[in-house]
Amino acid sequence: MLPESDAAALAERTRALTEAGVEPTLARKVASSDIAAAALDIAEVAASCNRPLELVAGVYFALDTQLSFDWLRERAQALPADTHWDLLARTTTLDDLGRLKRALMTSLLSQSGDYDTAAPLIDAWRGTRQPALERFTRMLTEQRASGATGLSMLSVAIREIGMLERS
Protein backbone atom coordinates (compact mmCIF):
# COMPACT_ATOMS: atom_id res chain seq x y z
CA MET A 1 0.00 0.00 0.00
CA LEU A 2 2.95 2.35 0.42
CA PRO A 3 3.70 4.71 -2.42
CA GLU A 4 6.83 3.69 -4.30
CA SER A 5 8.98 6.45 -2.80
CA ASP A 6 7.96 5.52 0.76
CA ALA A 7 8.58 1.82 0.11
CA ALA A 8 12.04 2.65 -1.26
CA ALA A 9 12.83 4.83 1.77
CA LEU A 10 11.71 2.03 4.10
CA ALA A 11 13.92 -0.47 2.28
CA GLU A 12 16.88 1.91 2.49
CA ARG A 13 16.40 2.55 6.23
CA THR A 14 16.10 -1.20 6.82
CA ARG A 15 19.24 -1.88 4.77
CA ALA A 16 21.24 0.78 6.62
CA LEU A 17 20.24 -0.61 10.00
CA THR A 18 21.01 -4.17 8.95
CA GLU A 19 24.43 -3.11 7.63
CA ALA A 20 25.06 -1.41 10.98
CA GLY A 21 24.60 -4.80 12.67
CA VAL A 22 20.94 -4.70 13.66
CA GLU A 23 19.15 -8.05 13.33
CA PRO A 24 16.98 -7.93 10.15
CA THR A 25 13.60 -8.36 11.85
CA LEU A 26 14.35 -5.65 14.38
CA ALA A 27 15.80 -3.42 11.66
CA ARG A 28 12.54 -3.63 9.70
CA LYS A 29 10.47 -2.85 12.82
CA VAL A 30 12.59 0.16 13.70
CA ALA A 31 12.71 1.41 10.11
CA SER A 32 8.94 1.16 9.79
CA SER A 33 8.12 2.91 13.08
CA ASP A 34 6.97 6.10 11.32
CA ILE A 35 4.71 4.10 9.05
CA ALA A 36 3.44 2.01 11.95
CA ALA A 37 2.25 5.21 13.63
CA ALA A 38 -0.08 5.73 10.66
CA ALA A 39 -1.81 2.46 11.54
CA LEU A 40 -3.58 4.13 14.46
CA ASP A 41 -5.06 6.84 12.22
CA ILE A 42 -6.03 4.27 9.61
CA ALA A 43 -7.72 2.03 12.17
CA GLU A 44 -9.55 4.96 13.78
CA VAL A 45 -10.92 6.23 10.45
CA ALA A 46 -11.79 2.72 9.24
CA ALA A 47 -13.82 2.11 12.40
CA SER A 48 -15.59 5.47 12.29
CA CYS A 49 -16.50 5.09 8.60
CA ASN A 50 -17.12 1.35 8.74
CA ARG A 51 -14.78 0.83 5.78
CA PRO A 52 -12.13 -1.87 5.18
CA LEU A 53 -8.65 -1.20 6.52
CA GLU A 54 -7.11 -1.78 3.08
CA LEU A 55 -9.29 0.90 1.50
CA VAL A 56 -8.62 3.41 4.27
CA ALA A 57 -4.87 2.71 4.12
CA GLY A 58 -4.94 3.33 0.38
CA VAL A 59 -6.74 6.63 0.92
CA TYR A 60 -4.32 7.57 3.71
CA PHE A 61 -1.23 7.14 1.56
CA ALA A 62 -2.88 8.66 -1.52
CA LEU A 63 -3.78 11.80 0.45
CA ASP A 64 -0.27 11.89 1.85
CA THR A 65 1.07 12.02 -1.69
CA GLN A 66 -1.65 14.29 -3.12
CA LEU A 67 -1.35 16.94 -0.41
CA SER A 68 2.35 16.56 0.48
CA PHE A 69 1.64 15.78 4.13
CA ASP A 70 5.09 14.19 4.45
CA TRP A 71 6.80 17.39 3.28
CA LEU A 72 4.66 19.49 5.64
CA ARG A 73 5.41 17.14 8.57
CA GLU A 74 9.14 17.37 7.82
CA ARG A 75 8.93 21.18 7.83
CA ALA A 76 7.04 21.13 11.14
CA GLN A 77 9.52 18.73 12.73
CA ALA A 78 12.36 20.99 11.60
CA LEU A 79 10.95 24.03 13.40
CA PRO A 80 13.29 25.27 16.13
CA ALA A 81 12.25 24.44 19.65
CA ASP A 82 14.47 26.80 21.63
CA THR A 83 11.74 27.68 24.10
CA HIS A 84 8.77 25.99 25.67
CA TRP A 85 6.49 28.03 23.40
CA ASP A 86 8.41 26.98 20.29
CA LEU A 87 8.00 23.34 21.30
CA LEU A 88 4.27 23.84 21.90
CA ALA A 89 3.88 25.55 18.52
CA ARG A 90 5.67 22.69 16.74
CA THR A 91 3.65 20.05 18.59
CA THR A 92 0.40 21.89 17.88
CA THR A 93 1.26 22.18 14.20
CA LEU A 94 1.96 18.44 13.96
CA ASP A 95 -1.27 17.68 15.85
CA ASP A 96 -3.24 19.95 13.51
CA LEU A 97 -1.80 18.20 10.45
CA GLY A 98 -2.77 14.80 11.84
CA ARG A 99 -6.25 15.93 12.83
CA LEU A 100 -6.90 17.48 9.43
CA LYS A 101 -5.68 14.39 7.63
CA ARG A 102 -8.08 12.21 9.65
CA ALA A 103 -10.90 14.69 8.99
CA LEU A 104 -10.17 14.70 5.24
CA MET A 105 -10.10 10.91 5.15
CA THR A 106 -13.38 10.68 7.06
CA SER A 107 -15.03 13.24 4.80
CA LEU A 108 -13.73 11.56 1.66
CA LEU A 109 -14.82 8.09 2.76
CA SER A 110 -18.27 9.22 3.89
CA GLN A 111 -18.98 10.82 0.49
CA SER A 112 -17.52 8.01 -1.52
CA GLY A 113 -20.52 6.00 -2.67
CA ASP A 114 -19.76 2.50 -3.86
CA TYR A 115 -16.04 2.80 -4.65
CA ASP A 116 -13.96 0.03 -3.14
CA THR A 117 -10.45 1.18 -4.08
CA ALA A 118 -8.57 4.36 -3.26
CA ALA A 119 -7.84 5.68 -6.76
CA PRO A 120 -11.45 6.29 -7.90
CA LEU A 121 -12.32 7.65 -4.44
CA ILE A 122 -9.52 10.20 -4.63
CA ASP A 123 -10.45 11.09 -8.22
CA ALA A 124 -14.09 11.69 -7.25
CA TRP A 125 -13.03 13.74 -4.23
CA ARG A 126 -10.62 15.82 -6.33
CA GLY A 127 -13.41 16.49 -8.81
CA THR A 128 -15.56 18.09 -6.10
CA ARG A 129 -12.72 20.26 -4.77
CA GLN A 130 -10.82 21.24 -7.90
CA PRO A 131 -10.63 25.02 -7.28
CA ALA A 132 -9.53 24.55 -3.66
CA LEU A 133 -6.99 21.89 -4.68
CA GLU A 134 -5.56 24.15 -7.38
CA ARG A 135 -5.21 26.99 -4.85
CA PHE A 136 -3.53 24.63 -2.36
CA THR A 137 -1.16 23.30 -5.03
CA ARG A 138 -0.17 26.83 -6.11
CA MET A 139 0.42 27.85 -2.50
CA LEU A 140 2.52 24.76 -1.80
CA THR A 141 4.54 25.27 -4.99
CA GLU A 142 5.26 28.87 -3.96
CA GLN A 143 6.28 27.77 -0.47
CA ARG A 144 8.63 25.10 -1.81
CA ALA A 145 10.17 27.51 -4.33
CA SER A 146 10.73 30.18 -1.69
CA GLY A 147 12.36 27.75 0.72
CA ALA A 148 9.95 28.92 3.42
CA THR A 149 9.99 26.63 6.41
CA GLY A 150 8.66 28.73 9.26
CA LEU A 151 5.61 28.54 11.42
CA SER A 152 3.85 31.21 9.33
CA MET A 153 4.19 29.06 6.19
CA LEU A 154 2.87 26.02 8.00
CA SER A 155 -0.04 28.02 9.46
CA VAL A 156 -1.12 29.06 5.97
CA ALA A 157 -0.77 25.49 4.67
CA ILE A 158 -2.86 24.14 7.55
CA ARG A 159 -5.54 26.75 6.89
CA GLU A 160 -5.66 25.71 3.22
CA ILE A 161 -5.96 22.02 4.16
CA GLY A 162 -8.83 22.98 6.45
CA MET A 163 -10.48 24.71 3.49
CA LEU A 164 -10.17 21.47 1.50
CA GLU A 165 -11.87 19.55 4.28
CA ARG A 166 -14.75 22.03 4.43
CA SER A 167 -15.22 22.34 0.65
The pTM of this model reads 0.81
pLDDT digits (tens, 9 = 90+) for 12-66: 989 999 999 999 899 888 888 877 778 889 999 999 999 999 999 999 999 988 8
Neighbour count for residue 105 (Cβ, 10 Å): 25
pLDDT of residue 112: 63
Query: What number is the average pLDDT over the span 81-90?
Result: 93
**In 59-77, which positions are buried (b, 16+ CB within 10 angstroms) versus exposed (e)?**
bbbbbbebbbbbebbebbe
Structure confidence by residue, pLDDT tens digits, 117-153: 888 889 888 888 899 999 999 999 998 898 877 899 9
**pLDDT at position 92:** 94
Q: How confident is the model at residue 4 (pLDDT cuts 50, 70, 90)?
A: confident
Q: Alpha carbon 28 to chain centroid distance?
A: 21
